Structure 1
Amino acid sequence: MSVDQALAKILDTVVPVATVETVPLLQSLGRVIAIDKVAAINVPPCDNSAMDGYAIRLDDLEPLNELLIAQRIPAGQMGKPLKVGTAARIFTGAAIPPGADSVVMQEDTETRGEVVRVDRSEVKLGQHIRPMGQDIAKGSVVVGCGKRIQPQEIGLLASIGVTEVEVFTRLKVAVLSTGDELVEPGQSLASGQIYNSNRYTLTAFLIALGCEVIDGGIVEDDFQTTCDQLQSLSAQADVIISSGGVSVGEEDHVKAAVESLGQLGLWKLNIKPGKPLAFGAVGSTPFFGLPGNPSSVFVTFCLLARPYLLRKQGQSDVAPVMTTATAQFDWHQRGSRQEYLRAFVSVDEGVASVCLYDNQSSGVLASTSWANALMVLPPNTTITRGARVDVLLLSGLVGG
């Protein structure tokens, strides 16, 4: 099955979380908003000055180029109606006084005592005035349902006076690793053992997505033990994600365990790295069985598990952004699977170029730290230096 077909099939099964909770604004970062936030005010609440300068009535400059400075309006105060033939000394953010229709910045004026001199030819009607509601109009939706709250949304909601936000509750995601060879960091390694990096990669991904992580530990290569742990986790979690044990080896028990406890919706994808990927359910709990190799875990989580989790959290937009760059390499290996090569994109004089990590093995986790992108290589494709290629920036695949 192709990656696009698999993702469509996976997303078709999503049942988004329905429960909602209210949290303080500063605690809503990374959460998905559950109810449209509508502005109860205009921002700015009145016409205000975009510059330090002088508020004037443009028609006054027709017979005159000198105006009496009749008032001073700092930010946070309201001025008096502007009288004919006068100007108001005004500061950035201050309310435009009634009658004024333009602001001349102070650099374009000359002052002599209580008089300001203005060149009429340099002034345009309405210049340097930010109209009421220019940023946000009263009654408009400021942040819509299904939007993940980022720092800019925090500031935006604060600008309309919001102190609390209704968000979807956090997903509980269980993470387990399979393999007798795995050891947790901090323990001694015996011959033939390796440290369990996948658990840490997946847990970090999930924390960045705002999920509550349930640690399913390391499960030994035993069918019944695998069944028991999956069944236990299915009662606690909204989603289960495992790494390893989904291939066809004699010690790979995850696939068989899932089939005995629930159902397997798909298995094996036309993707590299990450061909042995399973998706289904343990009982009624959705299940992802990711490969065991660390780069395969990284790629398949980004491309398949992450969009599923985003959609399940209630987020409306889950598609990564594809862009293009100029290849700084030749690639002559025609593969039958769609490949996602760990790559680095740089920009020089506005032109994006991409180079590849020199070892694309699925066991090389260092490639994911070096990379800032995944280059998409379609099946049966070769690349020559200078060709335009598709890339997915990791900044859009990692984090919330």
Structure 2
Amino acid sequence: METLKYLLIPLRGAALVLIVVFSLLLLLAAKGGLMGLPLALLVLSWFFKYGFALLDKVADGVNEPPVLSYEMVNPANESRPLGLLAIVSAFYFFTGMLQPLVGHEVVTVLRAIGLVLVPAIIMMQVMEGFFDSLNPISLLRIVVRVPDSYVLILALLAGAWWLATALVTWLPAAELPFSISIPFPDIVRLAILMYAWLASFAMIGGVLFVRRAELGFEPAHSPERAAEKAEREREREVDLLIDRIFAEWRGGAYGNAWRTIEKHLSSSARPGDELQTLFQRASQWPDQRLAHRLAQELIPQLLAARRTGDALKIARMQLKADVNFRPIKSEDTIKLIELARDGGDRQTARMLLAGFAERYEDDVARRVAGHLAQQLER
């Protein structure tokens, strides 16, 4: 039901203005007879091209209708309306040629199937291109991948066109208060039909965006792309930060380097993730002292978040680089010793226990460590 909101897009902004103006221009062209034919063809060409431009915007995750521009109406830039017309015309022509062979009923069924596949043809033109929209297998694949959304498209399109037809038939006759005699209902009828057409394209674009994962479609403004862009931006910022920290650390300004880290973490929306990223980068340096310091800050956070496996893994890594590594707090060291013992890693537990009494002044922690040492000796 999320796609229902796309039916309102043609009623907003530039799309609504276009519907009103083009309805008036088409009726003026109709009043002009043959002289008005060029205007009618021009307006219809622009309108159908605008439908695909609206579809592209919605499929790319933009919920505002586009403003008609030269790029949209340029024949060199937008040939899909002609492509769609060519496909429909060719299908109708060839099925008509089959009628003497298979009969009227079979041709009617084939044309009904073709009509049902029109939204899939439009979707395939957006995703892959004109020639792919000629492949029946590709069209059926769309229907199979999103059957519920496709049925919803057909139901809403049928409902929209039925309602438009009903309103067109129902409207009474009247005259516009203009010097040119143009019946007001005719403008409304055209506007309703134009809305139904644009709403159809907006609906198809909405399904492309909402079901992009199932259809294998990559819109320009999807949440995934936004997250990917944000992640790239974050990695760039981390690279710059690491370069600065490394320069300070290599120059012996250890205090400045640590203050830079603290300032960055305090301003971050995800300090835990940032701390882990900094540790991973620093652990690749030849000088492991900063990695040890970051690990001492990271291990308590991992233990508090019940990520005990990650905490123990980092402790093992630091012990491998320096056997004198220990967490800052005695309770964190005790927890790591217990985790290593329970996991059968007695070597890591013994390494963390070594020199415990000399390192920590907490008498309770010393007694617990002594008890653990006795257990590990058995």
Given the two structures, how large is their TM-score scaled by the length of structure 1? Answer: 0.21
Higher strand share: 1
Larger radius of gyration: 2
